[in-house]
C-alpha cells in the first residue's frame, strides 16, 4: 500500500487510548483556553485523522512562511500551505505551557484539542501579505479564501496538539465522515491495490461521473474514493447532506457494486486553486489513494486562476519526490452531441463549443429552482430530482 508522506505509517493526532483521553479531558478543565478560528479547528480535525501526517501540531511562523514560499518547513519537510493557530489575543493564556483549544463551530465551544505551547509570535502585516500572495496568488479581499485567512488574528500559537474530538463532523455526518486511518483500513479490507480519489464540494453531474469511470478504466483502478468536503463553503454552495444524498444515489445506480467508497472529510474550503490541489493530493496519499483526479480549475473560485494552473503546479513547484501519488490530469468534460457520449474536450478536436451540452452553474440552479430537470446529457434524472427538491425547498 502507498506510504504516507514523510513517514512509514500514519500519525493521527487523535487520542484513541480511552484512559489517556479521559485524563486529557479532565486536564482540559483546569487549563487556560482560547476559542480558535474555524480554519484552525478544521486543521485540528485533519491532523487528528492523520491526513496531515507527519505534522505534529500547529506550525511556527518560520515553518509557515517556509511552506508558503517554497512548500517546505525549516526542517525540509514538504507541506503545501501554512498550518497556523492564529488568534486575536493571547491574554487569557498568558505564559501557560499547556492550553485548551475550543471549537468555534459547536455550541458551548467544547475543547477540541490540547496544545503544548512552544512559541507565541505576532505575525506582521507584511508576513501575512506574503503568505496570502503565495498561497492564494492574490490579496483581493473579495476572494473567499483570502478573506477567511486574513480574518483570523495575528498571534500565532505554535506547538504539538492532542485531538479530543472531530468537531461536528462525526455527529452530523456519521455515515460519511472518515479519518485517513479509517479510509486506509477500508481500502485494505477491499483488497484494492490501485485507488483513484475524486475531490468534490458539489453534487456530481454526468460529466463528473463519467470522468471517474474514465480515470478508473485508464488507470486500471480497483476502486474509487469519492471524498467530499464537509466543512465550511462559500454562500450559495449546496449543503453537504444534499450533496451526500445525490452522490450516493448516483453511485448506487451507475457504478458496479463494491467499487466505490463515498466518504467525506472535515475541513474548510480554501479556494486556493493550485496550492489547494497540492494539499488535496497530499492528504489523498495519506488516506491511501495511489491516484488523484485534478480537473480544470480545481479548487478555484472566480477568475483568479488559469484553467490548468492546478495541474502545472505539480510539475513546476512541487519538489521532486515529495509525493508518490500520481495525478490524473483531466480536461473539462461534457456530453458530445456528435458522439453521443461524455468526452474530455481536448480529446474531441473536431468539436466546437456548440457541439457539447454546456450549462453554467447559474443556469442549472435556475432550472432546479423552477422544478425543471437539466437534460439527461447533463445530469442523471435521479440526481436532478434530489437537487430539485432541495432548491424548491429554499425558494
* Domains of the chain as residue ranges with CATH: 18-167 (3.10.400.10), 175-265+271-394 (3.40.50.620)
Choosing from 98, 154, 201, 248, the catalytic residue is: 201
What the block records as the C-alpha cell of 27 is 486536564
Burial of 349 (0-12, 13-18, 19+ CB in 10 A): exposed
- 104 — pLDDT class (breaks 50, 70, 90): very high
- 148 — pLDDT class (breaks 50, 70, 90): very high
Choosing from 98, 202, 248, 365, the catalytic residue is: 202
Q: Which of 158-162, 217-221, 332-336 has the lowest mean pLDDT?
A: 332-336
At residue 359, does pLDDT exceed 90? no
Say whether 43 is catalytic: no
Say whether 202 is catalytic: yes
Q: Mean pLDDT across the stretch 310-324? A: 96
At residue 43, does pLDDT exceed 90? yes
Amino acid at each position: 500500500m502507498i506510504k504516507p508522506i514523510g513517514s512509514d505509517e500514519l500519525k493521527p493526532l487523535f487520542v484513541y487510548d480511552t484512559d489517556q483521553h479521559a485524563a486529557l479531558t479532565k486536564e482540559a478543565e483546569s487549563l487556560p483556553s482560547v476559542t480558535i478560528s474555524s480554519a484552525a479547528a478544521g486543521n485540528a480535525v485533519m491532523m487528528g485523522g492523520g491526513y496531515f501526517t507527519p505534522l505534529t501540531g500547529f506550525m511556527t511562523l518560520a515553518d509557515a512562511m517556509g511552506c508558503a514560499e517554497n512548500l517546505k518547513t525549516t526542517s525540509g519537510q514538504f507541506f503545501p500551505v501554512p498550518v497556523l493557530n492564529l488568534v486575536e489575543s493571547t491574554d487569557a493564556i498568558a505564559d501557560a505551557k499547556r492550553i485548551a483549544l475550543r471549537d468555534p463551530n459547536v455550541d458551548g465551544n467544547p475543547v477540541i484539542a490540547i496544545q503544548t505551547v512552544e512559541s507565541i509570535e505576532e505575525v506582521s502585516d507584511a508576513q501575512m501579505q506574503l503568505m496570502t500572495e503565495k498561497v492564494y496568488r492574490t490579496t483581493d479581499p473579495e476572494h473567499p479564501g483570502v478573506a477567511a485567512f486574513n480574518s483570523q488574528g495575528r498571534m500565532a500559537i505554535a506547538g504539538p496538539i492532542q485531538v479530543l474530538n472531530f468537531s461536528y463532523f462525526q455527529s452530523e455526518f456519521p455515515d460519511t465522515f472518515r479519518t485517513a486511518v479509517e479510509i486506509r483500513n477500508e481500502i485494505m479490507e477491499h483488497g484494492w491495490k490501485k485507488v483513484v480519489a475524486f475531490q468534490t464540494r458539489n453534487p456530481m453531474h454526468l460529466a463528473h461521473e463519467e470522468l471517474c469511470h474514465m480515470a478508473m478504466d485508464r488507470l486500471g483502478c480497483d476502486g474509487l474514493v469519492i471524498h467530499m468536503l464537509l466543512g465550511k463553503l462559500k454562500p450559495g454552495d449546496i449543503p453537504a447532506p444534499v450533496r451526500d444524498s445525490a452522490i450516493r444515489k448516483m453511485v448506487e445506480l451507475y457504478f458496479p457494486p463494491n467499487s466505490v467508497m463515498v466518504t467525506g472529510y472535515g475541513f474548510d474550503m480554501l479556494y486556493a486553486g493550485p496550492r489547494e490541489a497540492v494539499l488535496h493530493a497530499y492528504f489523498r496519499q495519506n488516506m491511501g489513494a495511489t491516484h488523484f483526479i485534478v480537473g480544470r480549475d480545481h479548487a478555484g473560485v472566480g477568475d483568479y486562476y488559469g484553467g490548468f494552473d492546478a495541474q502545472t503546479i505539480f510539475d513546476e513547484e512541487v519538489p521532486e519526490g515529495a509525493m508518490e501519488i500520481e495525478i490524473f490530469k483531466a480536461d473539462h468534460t461534457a456530453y458530445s452531441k456528435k458522439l453521443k457520449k461524455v468526452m474530455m474536450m481536448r480529446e474531441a478536436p473536431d468539436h466546437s463549443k456548440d457541439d457539447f451540452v454546456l450549462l453554467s452553474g447559474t443556469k442549472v440552479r435556475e432550472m432546479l429552482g423552477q422544478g425543471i430537470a437539466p437534460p439527461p446529457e447533463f445530469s442523471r434524472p435521479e440526481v436532478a430530482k434530489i437537487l430539485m427538491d432541495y432548491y424548491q425547498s429554499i425558494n
